[in-house]
Every structure is written in C-alpha cells, then in structure tokens.
Chain A
C-alpha cells in the first residue's frame, strides 16, 4: 500500500530534521561559493537570496493559496522603511531590526489581508496594485518622516571582528541574506508539507468544498497573506541593508510586477520555483545591461534593452515551460524516470496483472 509506505518514510525522518539537513548542506555550499567569488558577485548573491525570501512568500500566497498580489513591492517597502527608521540614530542588533520589520509588514499585511479575503480575481489584483502604487506615495507625502524622494540611508551591517578586519562587507551581507533565506525556506517548507499548506491549496482549488471540510476560508486567506507579508517585510529589511538606501523609487509598481513574473517563470506554487525565479530576476537584467553597455548602443536603446530582453524571456518561458522552470524540470525528471522504468520492465518482460506470479 503506497500510502503507508509514504507514512513510514515520514516517521523515520521527521520533517524538521529533513528540512534543516537540506538547509545546512545548502548553507555550507553557498558559504564556500561566496568565499570563492569577488565582492561584486557576493553582492549579486545577496540580491538573489533577498529575492528568494520575497518570491517564496509571494508564491505561498499566489501559487499555493491562489491570491494574486500585485502589491508585494509595497510590503517590501514597509519592511525597508521600518528598518531605515529603526536604524536612524539608533544602533540596534540586526536580528531585532529584522524581526521588527517583519512584524511591521505582517501588521500591514494582516489589515490588507482582511480586505483581500473578500476580493477575488481581478478585483484582488486591482486592490493590490493600488497598494503598490499608493504606499510609496506616503513616503513622498510625509517627507519629514520618510525622507521624501531622496530616501533614507541605512548603514551596512558590520561584519563581526573575528572574521578579520579586511573581511569584505559584501560577503557578510551575502552570508546574512543566505542564512535568512534558508531559515525562511525551512519554515515555509514545513508549512507547505503540513496540513496548513494543504488547506491553503484546498481553498485555492475549491472554496465551497474547503469550507465543508471545516476550513475557515477567510481566515486561511488572511493567514496566507500575513505569512507572505512577513516574508516581504523580511526581504525589504534586508534590501534596505543591502542597498544602503530606502527611497520610493526602489519600490515602484515595477518591483511588484517583477516579483510576480519571477514566480511565474520559476514555477507557481513551489519553493524551488521561487529560487529559480529569483535567479532569473537578478541575473537576466545583470547580464543584459552588461551586454547593452558593451554594444555601445545609443542610450535610448541601451537603457530599454534589458527590459525588452526580460520581457522576451518571460514570453519564451511561458511558451516553452508553461509551468515555469520548476515545472519543466519536474517533467524532465518524470520523463527520465518513466524511461528508466520502461527499460526495466522491458528487461523483465510484461507483467500479467491477473497472474503476477507468472505461475
């Protein structure tokens, strides 16, 4: 009985140790990688890790729970501004700043999530888009608090002294971002594999049936929104440390749309999809802007080329791998497995299911 076999495997390796083990291996590998590359690449690596946090949270909301948010850039802004304001004139420990920024974004997410739970499809998209457009305006309107268009500067996190005086700050930033991203992935992975993740999917797939199974649909949607906002806040906080500046221009509608496009390209509904999407999100523009500048194009073309190529990648990805990179890889894996299994069966000969023993 396949179900029981699965159950045994579950009992033998408890969820937490399995996920922590995976995260630990990834952490060690990424630290090794980070130590081998230059400061600029470390900076890029940190950006990928930060986007992984935001897109993983967004994928939980949009991919797993089915609530489309076009406003996650604004929730990142809440985290970034919380961090910038907390650090203005104070020197607070990083972990405290991260947690407070997470709490701030969760609070905004909870308020918005209650409204979102009443909205569906295009209405929810419109409302979240309004959040993306409107929230950064607050920073401009109340410039004496939020620094207006100029924004607020954020001191980079200081590397501990035991790492040596000439330890590159970019590397330290990358290590922090990687560690936070992995902790986030472990926690979200726990949720996804649990009954909480299954209720998220049930609500996404059929609300009435979910309600009849005893799931409070509205509450589940708010919970998903809060968890997702917490991730956005965490990413926003790290983003503030990473860029050294929090300004409204950094959190426009474009950021929100990039986050959505990242999970669509990477694969909706899975954490690995968020990782793939973040890699594309960071590396494709990096690569194309490098290409544009090396081609010596006029600035009107050169400035827009990365955007054009990003758009082209999005279109091609939708045509070639409609379920995202993650979906494409899974399909390849399934094909390979079927082929391998097919070869094995051919080797043994056809099994007669009415008489499997062959007597």
Chain B
C-alpha cells in the first residue's frame, strides 16, 4: 500500500432505498465516485448519510437499488468479503489488543503470512507517523493517536475504498484542523477512493473534491466545494453551508433590465443572467457585502442601522437592519490592529454589494 500499488476503484451507487421500521431513511439515492476521488456526504444528523455509508460498507442491506465497486456489483456481497476500509466515528479500536494487533487484525483475517504482517504493520505505523507505537495499549492513546491507528488499520489491507464516518468529530478544534490537513495529504499520497460522512461543513469544504449535500434521505446537490458554496441550488444548501442573507421578491422588468421588487420602495438590481420568474428568493453571502458611510449605486445598496456586532478575531459579523424581515449579515475582515473605530451598534450605515454576486434560487 505504501508504494502506490493500490487498486483504486470507482464506486457507483444506483437508486438505493432503505427504510427502518416503515420510516424511509434513504430515498432513491444515486452517487458516482471516480477512482481516487474524495467525496463528502454532508448533511444534518438524521439525513440518511450514515445509513448510506453503512450500506456501502455492507453493514446494512439496501431495500432496493445497487452498489458497485470497481465495476462489480457488491450489493449483496457480505461485509467481510468487500475489502472496504472504514474509520468509525468512535474509532472502534479493539481494547484488548495493542496498537500493532489492532492494525494486524485485517491482515490476520486474510491469512497473511506472519512475516508479511510484521512489515505491513510497521509500514502502516510509519504512514500515520506512529513509529514505535506498536506494542502500546490503545487505551492510553490520545484522541488524535487513536484516530491514526484507526486509519492505519483501515488502510493496511489495501482497501478498494475508504469510508470515513465523522472521522474528526471527537477531536477538539485545533487538533481537528491539523488532522484535516494530514488526512487530505495521506489520501492524496495513497490515492485511495474516499467517501466521508460529516455534518461539519468546513471539514467537507476543506477536504473534498466533491460534496454531496444530503437532507431527508436525498442528495440535494452534488458539486465541487466551490460550486456548493457559491452556487447552491436551493435554500437548504445555501443555508446549511456558510451564512446567508436571503431576500424574497417579485421579478419586474425596468427599462429592459430585470429587477427584484423586495417591497413597495425597495427595488434591487439582479445579475445580468437573471431568469424569468415571478416570485423568487435570492441570496448573498455575508463576505460579498461591504459597509460604507455613503450611498452606493442605486439598486445595489441599502441604508440601515447596525443592530448587533459579533467580533471573532480575524473577522467581525455586523448585523444591519435595512427594513427587511431579517437584518443583513455583513462580514468584515479585521485588517488593522491599531484602528479601534470598528462598527458600533446603533450606527447608521450603508450596505453595498455587487449585483453579480446575487444568487437566485
């Protein structure tokens, strides 16, 4: 496995359905992953993402639909014959075995010769930077170390596919960010096709080549992280990933340009490629908005008053009441450490934006 000899395989999930006691948890999901790709299933808890992962692993049987790995239908292949690496949420390390015995488990089930096991375990420990940890008990390891043992155990058998179930969920923030980088580098080095289940949007955005956003048993959008963030297809995706300012209104034609009538006297410019519609929702990401003391271009700025300021170190979120249903969230970067005259609550202010950044849902 350490020398790029891995048999990377494509995964294809077709029309998979799964119910538990009458409740449909996964509703007709199809998904294709190219060899070597890193895909995230992102969604809130209970959206069916873990059930989908468990069906791919072979821990659950789909009610209908097919799952194929490397062109071979594995829908009803028993779990122990699939050779898919899984890193469980709680790591599921065997408490009665040492680190080395844990990693060797998958090799022993495959009746690998003893001498080969030793070399492979040593290589796997090196790969996850745990050289010399072999004889240790798993009980005394830190969260990050357990995570790496689980990863080494999953990879040592040269799996055709790697499944990660909320792999970094149990780690604290600093360690999580560090493991994200490590995980991604490792995955790229080995080249194993990877599917990760997560509810952490940041994790999905950083790690994945593609993100499939799931809600209520369906995949809502399956795109690159950039597309998911900048061009979400619907309000759920827009709302689930990052912060958003939603505005609802009527599309009106004014001098051949499409405009959005949010209310009687608030009419906003729409991007040039605006499609025909009557009632629509549009949204703007907070970092696409700016604050200014003077009015901007008509239809791309609104006057308001700051109602709340939330400082978080590198950035500050300002909530500006512009007379719409909800205040607009504006993200400003804290560029200087000597100018303390930041936004103040109650201050009258203008919010500006570029109409091209408006996304129509």
- Do these two chains interact? no
